[in-house]
Amino acid sequence: MGIEIERKFLVEDSTTLPPLGEGVRMIQCYLPSEDWLNFWPGEMGKLEEVLADPLSAYRIRVHGNTAIATAKSHSDGPTRLEFEMKIPLDSVLEIINTRQYPSVEKTRYKIPSNDDLFWEIDFFEGKNSGLIIAEIEMPAPDYSITLPNWIGRELTGQDDVWSNFALAKRPGPNHG
How many CB atoms are closer than 10 A to CB 66?
12
Sequence-separated (6 or more) residues with CB below 8 Å from residue 164: 28, 30, 57, 59, 104
Q: How far apart are CA 152 and CA 26, in angstroms?
A: 23
Nearest residue to 31 (alpha-carbon basis) of 96, 114, 88: 96
State the catalytic residue, choosing from 30, 58, 101, 109.
30
How many CB atoms are closer than 10 A to CB 101?
19
58 carries an active-site annotation: no
- Amino acid identity at 153: R
What backbone torsions phi and psi does residue 167 show, to the nearest 5 degrees?
A: -65, -30
Classify residue 113 as left (phi > 0), alpha (psi -120 to 50) or beta.
beta
Mind telling me the catalytic residues?
A: 30
